[in-house]
């Protein structure tokens, strides 16, 4: 496995986050026909403090494939909009019923349930508008639209969420859980990387390497998320902990136990790091990000 970059992921994210945040703010100014309350709800959720993991992945993937990261800013923003929409809807009373997100009241608590639903709807559609209008190359734009619509749709993100809700009341296996989270969590992580590769004109072999990296990191991310729900604290996490067990939800520590879950996550991070080493520019930043996923405490 390749050596980890001397820059940690948090240092990398600290450098890149201002670029992402500035672009997100610009792309959600809207015109006068957008109601002020809707605009406020959209920006409240989208611009909330966060690591910007998915957009940073898109930028780093473009760089790892030999391109300037500025070429990936539009897809980076699009995936963050999809992510923010999914969090708004996941937090709703009909879904996970959460009242805290990133250390602040969730969108439906800060505003109201109807406004939160509509803010999520607006972010979802704005993401596709950004890909259609902010990527100069028409072929790259079309390919990015095809990839993101699939990753965010019924067979991936949304389908994974439906199955996750279903298995709150049904028994399942580790394979069932992995299948859920490869779609609910992993699909958006993997597509972030693939979009960065597409705008870098990466060939299929490089896109395959990015996919292998994303699949491994995405599942490791969910395993560590489950571990943090068991072992983390609310202040660090910025959201409620212990809620999965309270709902009787299927989790990796619940199936494998804590130590085996950690071991599985470590294996996945090794797999991701090996895939990153095959990229033209070494993938050192992506390797650092993979290790951050394993070691994070929030």
CATH of the domain at 263: 1.10.600.10
- Tell me if 230 is assigned to some domain: yes
Q: Give tens-digit pLDDT for 199-223.
A: 999 999 999 999 999 999 999 999 9
Q: Quote the CA–CA distance of 274 and 261 in Å, as a whole number.
A: 20
pLDDT above 70 for 52: yes
Gyration radius from the chain CA atoms: 18
Instruction: Name the domain count of the chain.
Output: 1
Q: Quote the CA–CA distance of 260 and 203 in Å, as a whole number.
A: 36
Domain that holds residue 214: 9-295
pLDDT above 90 for 166: no
Q: Give tens-digit pLDDT for 110-127.
A: 999 999 999 999 999 999
Calculate what percentage of the chain has a pLDDT beyond 90.
74
- Tell me if 4 is assigned to some domain: no
Q: Give tens-digit pLDDT for 186-195.
A: 999 999 999 9
Average pLDDT for 173-179 = 89
Query: Collapsing DSSP states into helix, strand and coil, what is residue 63?
Result: helix
Residues 85, 151 contacting (CB under 8 angstroms): no
Q: In this structure, which long-range contacts are made by residues 258-264, counting pairs with CB atoms below 8 Å and at least 24 apart in sequence?
A: 258/227, 258/230, 258/231, 261/223, 261/226, 261/227, 262/227, 264/223
Q: Quote the CA–CA distance of 210 and 204 in Å, as a whole number.
A: 10
Look at residue 3 in the predicted model and tell me its pLDDT: 43
Q: Give tens-digit pLDDT for 243-286.
A: 655 566 788 998 999 999 999 999 999 999 999 999 998 789 99
Look at residue 10 in the predicted model and tell me its pLDDT: 83
Unique residue bearing structure tokens 């607006």: 122
Q: Give tens-digit pLDDT for 60-111.
A: 999 999 999 999 999 999 999 999 999 999 999 999 899 999 889 999 999 9
- Tell me if 2 is assigned to some domain: no
Instruction: Give the residue among 85, 146, 153, 155 at the shortest CA–CA distance from 116.
Output: 85
Look at residue 167 in the predicted model and tell me its pLDDT: 77
pTM, two decimals, is 0.90
Query: Collapsing DSSP states into helix, strand and coil, what is residue 101?
Result: strand
- Tell me if 247 is assigned to some domain: yes
**H or E element at residue 163:** helix 157-166
CA dihedral sign, ordered 220, 228, 17, 40? positive
Look at residue 51 in the predicted model and tell me its pLDDT: 86
Look at residue 142 in the predicted model and tell me its pLDDT: 98
Q: Which residues contact 33 (CB under 8 A, 6 or more apart)?
A: none
Residue 199 token pair:
């705008």
pLDDT above 90 for 150: yes
DSSP string across 8-32: -HHHHHHHHHHHHHHHHHHHT---T
pLDDT-derived band at 2 (thresholds 50, 70, 90) equals: very low
- Tell me if 1 is assigned to some domain: no
């Amino acid at each position: 496995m390749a050596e980890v970059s001397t820059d940690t992921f948090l240092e990398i994210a600290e450098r890149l986050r201002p670029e992402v945040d500035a672009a997100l703010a610009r792309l959600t100014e809207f015109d006068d026909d957008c109601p002020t309350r809707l605009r406020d709800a959209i920006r409240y959720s989208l611009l909330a403090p966060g690591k910007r993991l998915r957009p940073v992945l898109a930028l780093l993937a473009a760089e790892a494939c030999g391109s300037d990261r500025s070429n990936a800013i539009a897809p980076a923003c699009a995936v963050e909009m999809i992510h923010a929409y999914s969090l708004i809807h996941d937090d709703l009373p009909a879904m996970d019923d959460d009242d805290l997100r990133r250390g602040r009241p969730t969108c439906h608590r800060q505003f109201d349930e109807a406004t939160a639903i509509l803010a999520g709807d607006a972010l979802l559609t704005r993401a596709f508008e950004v890909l259609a209008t902010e990527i100069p190359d028409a072929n790259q734009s079309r390919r990015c639209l095809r990839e993101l619509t699939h990753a965010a749709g019924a067979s991936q993100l949304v389908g994974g969420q439906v199955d996750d809700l279903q298995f709150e009341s049904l028994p399942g296996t580790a394979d069932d859980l992995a299948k859920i989270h490869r779609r609910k969590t992993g699909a958006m992580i993997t597509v972030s990387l693939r979009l960065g590769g597409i705008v870098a004109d990466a060939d299929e072999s490089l896109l395959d390497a990015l996919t292998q990296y994303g699949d491994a990191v995405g599942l490791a991310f969910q395993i560590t998320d489950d571990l943090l729900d068991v072992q983390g604290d609310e202040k660090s996490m910025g959201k409620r902990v212990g809620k999965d067990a309270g709902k009787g939800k299927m989790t990796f520590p619940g199936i494998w136990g804590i130590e085996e879950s950690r071991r599985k996550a470590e294996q996945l991070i090794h797999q991701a790091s090996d895939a990153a080493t095959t990229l033209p520019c070494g993938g050192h930043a992506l390797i650092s990000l993979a290790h951050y996923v394993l070691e994070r405490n929030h």
